[in-house]
Every structure is written in structure tokens, then in C-alpha cells.
């Protein structure tokens, strides 16, 4: 029996550690039949080492999503390797330290601008860089952390994720005519490298211990990875502009 991504070609960003959601999305995508290519920044060699733990060898391309030169060459590099694309996974987020950890009211605009550029605008710029390779339509899947609420310690990453979620809706509007679906997975907290960069992350994550209807495991990125793979597949052919929660159900619980 073939996998749900059999014959699909997928570009995946954000594979930094084996504990990252993007790594598990890449692993599951390969197991489900996809050919994949990875991007990395600022240390492609780190991603290359992690990529050796995937079921099949895969190429790693250096990509800084704030660098127009990198974005401009991306389609050619990916096209040489895969010929085209059927899916793109955006797993990129960054905020300077002074934009996190309870410093919300004192963060300078320069740091806010960096967070917005890397974490939100890059969904559009990455997708547009890949668009020439998606001639037959496809699926763009990003990762968010529920931006309906103000989370402890998360500070300007919250507004950045809100911008990401709005960007996803507008992309869904404008790319639908090319049969490109744009959706997000809203994942619960995972003990990844990105999480470790948030001061007081344990305080934020502890909310899941008491409010999540389903037991939540900080050490298990696979459920979110499965959500990404499902949205990359043809099993959601008419779903776009959507946010699918893979958070143990916490988003539905008031207190």
C-alpha cells in the first residue's frame, strides 16, 4: 500500500534538531513516499548531520529567508534536485532575546521588525520563491502557536504569530486560483531548540499540565508532524486558510 505522499516533492525548512517538529515532518513525509529537500540557516552543516538520521538521504540548501539573493536562487537549486514542488513546509521563527521573556513593553522596534520579518513575512517570501516550481498546485503548511491569547514570556512572538496567521489567510485568498492550499498547524509546546530560546518556557508549557483534555507530551513532536503530512497530502483537497490545532485540545478549554 503506497503512502499518502507517494510521488510528492516537498521542501521543508526548520530541521535543526531531532526533537524539532520539522524533523518529524521530514521523516514521516519520506515514510509516506515523498521526495524531500531541506533548507537551513545559519548552520547548514548542523542540519546535514541531523538529516543523516532520516530514512533516506536528502540534500540541504542554505536559505536565509530574509536574504533576497538566497530566495532568488532557491527555485533553480530545488528545480535541479526535484524538478518541481508539490509542498512547502514553513517551520521558521525567530525573535531577538529582548523581544521575549517579559520585556514586551520595552522591546525596541528594530527587534520587533526582525521577529516579524523572520517569523511572519517569510511565509509569503518563501512561498513566492517556490511558486515557479508549483505549476500543478500544491500545499503550503506553516507552524504557529495559538495567537488568540497572550502567553507568559512569549511577548513579541505572539504578535508575530498573529501576523503569520493573517498572512496565511491572505495567501490562501490569492493563491487559491492556482490550486495552492495554505494552512497552518497550531502545535502545543515542544521542547525544541526554538522553545529553549524562550526565557521561562517551562512556565508557558506548564499550562498544558492542568488544562489540556488530552495528555500532552513535551518530548513528542510526532503528532504535529503527522498534522503537517496530512495537510501536505491530497486528503484535504478543499481546505485552505485554515488553522488545525494539534495541541491536545487546550485551545477549546477556557480554564
Q: Which residues are catalytic?
A: 154, 161
> Per the annotation, does 19 bind a ligand?
no
> Per the annotation, does 190 bind a ligand?
yes
> Per the annotation, does 92 bind a ligand?
yes
> Per the annotation, does 119 bind a ligand?
no
> Per the annotation, does 191 bind a ligand?
yes
Could you tell me if 55 and 31 are in contact, meaning their C-beta atoms sit under 8 angstroms apart? yes
Could you tell me if 226 and 28 are in contact, meaning their C-beta atoms sit under 8 angstroms apart? yes
> Per the annotation, does 21 bind a ligand?
yes
> Per the annotation, does 194 bind a ligand?
yes
> Per the annotation, does 185 bind a ligand?
no
- Torsion angle defined by CA atoms of residues 22, 244, 119 and 193, in that order, rounded to the nearest 10 degrees: -40
Three-state SS string over the chain comes to CCCCCCCCEEEECCCCCCCCHHHHHHHHHHHCCCEEEEEECCCHHHHHHHHCCCCCCCCEEECCCCCHHHHHHHHHHHHHHHCCCCEEEECCCCCCHHHCCCCHHHCCHHHHHHHHHHHHHHHHHHHHHHHHHCCCCEEEEEEECCCCCCCCCCCCHHHHHHHHHHHHHHHHHHHHHHCEEEEEEEECCCCCHHHHCCCCHHHHHCHHHHHCCCCCCCCCCHHHHHHHHHHHCCCCCCCCCCEEEECCCHHHCCC
Annotated binding-site positions: 14, 20-21, 64-65, 92, 95, 161, 190-194
Annotated binding-site positions for substrate: 95
Annotated binding-site positions for NAD(+): 14, 20-21, 64-65, 92, 161, 190-194
Amino acid at each position: 500500500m503506497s503512502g499518502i505522499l507517494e510521488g510528492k516533492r516537498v521542501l521543508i525548512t526548520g530541521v535543526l534538531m531531532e526533537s524539532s517538529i520539522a524533523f518529524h515532518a521530514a521523516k514521516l513525509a519520506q515514510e509516506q513516499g515523498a521526495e524531500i529537500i531541506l533548507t537551513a540557516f545559519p548552520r547548514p552543516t548542523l542540519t546535514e548531520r541531523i538529516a543523516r538520521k532520516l530514512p533516506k538521504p536528502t540534500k540541504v540548501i542554505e536559505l536565509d529567508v530574509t536574504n533576497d539573493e538566497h530566495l532568488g536562487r532557491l527555485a533553480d537549486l530545488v528545480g535541479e534536485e526535484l524538478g518541481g514542488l508539490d509542498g512547502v513546509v514553513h517551520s521558521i521563527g525567530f525573535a531577538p532575546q529582548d523581544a521575549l521573556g517579559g520585556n514586551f513593553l520595552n522591546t525596541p522596534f528594530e527587534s520587533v521588525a526582525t521577529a516579524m520579518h523572520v517569523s511572519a513575512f517569510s511565509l509569503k517570501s518563501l512561498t513566492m520563491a517556490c511558486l515557479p516550481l508549483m505549476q500543478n498546485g500544491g500545499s503550503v503548511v506553516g507552524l504557529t502557536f495559538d495567537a488568540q491569547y497572550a502567553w507568559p514570556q512569549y511577548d513579541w512572538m505572539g504578535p508575530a504569530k498573529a501576523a503569520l496567521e493573517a498572512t496565511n489567510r491572505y495567501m490562501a485568498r490569492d493563491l487559491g486560483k492556482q490550486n495552492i492550499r495554505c494552512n497552518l498547524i497550531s502545535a502545543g509546546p515542544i521542547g525544541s531548540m526554538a522553545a529553549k530560546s524562550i526565557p521561562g518556557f517551562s512556565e508557558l508549557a506548564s499550562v498544558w499540565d492542568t488544562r489540556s483534555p488530552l495528555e500532552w507530551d513535551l518530548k513528542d513532536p510526532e503528532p504535529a508532524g503527522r498534522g503537517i503530512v496530512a495537510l501536505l497530502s491530497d486528503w484535504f483537497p478543499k481546505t485552505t486558510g485554515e488553522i488545525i490545532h494539534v495541541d491536545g485540545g487546550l485551545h477549546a478549554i477556557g480554564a
